Amino acid sequence: MPTSLYDLSVPTFLQTVRSIGGFLGGAATYCAETGADPDNFVNLRLFEDMAPFHFQIEAAWHHSVWGVEALKTGMFAPPALVGPVPFADLQAMIGKAKTALEAFTPDEVNEWAGKELDLQIGPRRLAFTSETFILSFSLPHFHFHAVTAYDILRSRGVPLGKRDYEGQLRTRSA
């Protein structure tokens, strides 16, 4: 049985969006237990030339929700970046992403299969189909930002492991 556009996108994004919510919750718990302020994570970076934690969370939100929206509209048009916000707002942002993704139905997403989607990045025009956009643009960007956020938290002592990142696997019934 072929894999549908819905299966490639929505459940895949949801698996990691839920794990992001989980590791943000783990960071909040860690801070409560240690007396640290979770807002101190907001501007942290892995390296000086990398975007800060708040950007990683916001980009994960954009590439998941607006990645799927782009399948419908034919253009990737996330809202403007909000910049540094309190840690609790980042948690709420991921909660909104989860809710938005859960609202997409298999039938509607699968109707967008094979659509053309063009993306203008500066002088470059990238011509995609719905499938190639999800597989070669949105998912790689999404996972890059999700794992970078995870790595920032882990590098600052938040007790996270690989299972916290991988989330609930979509296994078949035995």
Q: Give residue-wise pLDDT tens across range 65-95.
A: 999 999 999 988 888 888 899 999 999 999 9
pLDDT of residue 155: 95
Predicted local distance difference test score (pLDDT) of residue 174: 75
Look at residue 172 in the predicted model and tell me its pLDDT.
Answer: 81
The answer for residues whose C-beta is within 8 angstroms of residue 43's C-beta and 6 or more apart is: 52, 53, 54, 84
Find residue 124's DSSP bridge partners.
121
Report the chain's terminal Cα–Cα distance, integer Å: 18
In sequence order, what DSSP letters do the residues of 72-125 get, joined into one string? HHSS--PPPP--S--HHHHHHHHHHHHHHHHH--HHHHHHTTT-EEEEEETTEE
Contact between 77 and 66 under an 8 Å Cβ cutoff? The reply is yes
In the chain, what are the domain boundaries? Answer: 5-105+134-161
Instruction: Please identify every stretch of the chain with a pLDDT value under 50, giving residue numbers as ranges.
Output: none
Predicted pLDDT of residue 165: 85
How does pLDDT run across 96-108, given as a tens digit for each residue? 999 999 999 999 9
Fold of 5-105+134-161: Four Helix Bundle (Hemerythrin (Met), subunit A) (1.20.120)
In this prediction, residue 95 carries a pLDDT of 97
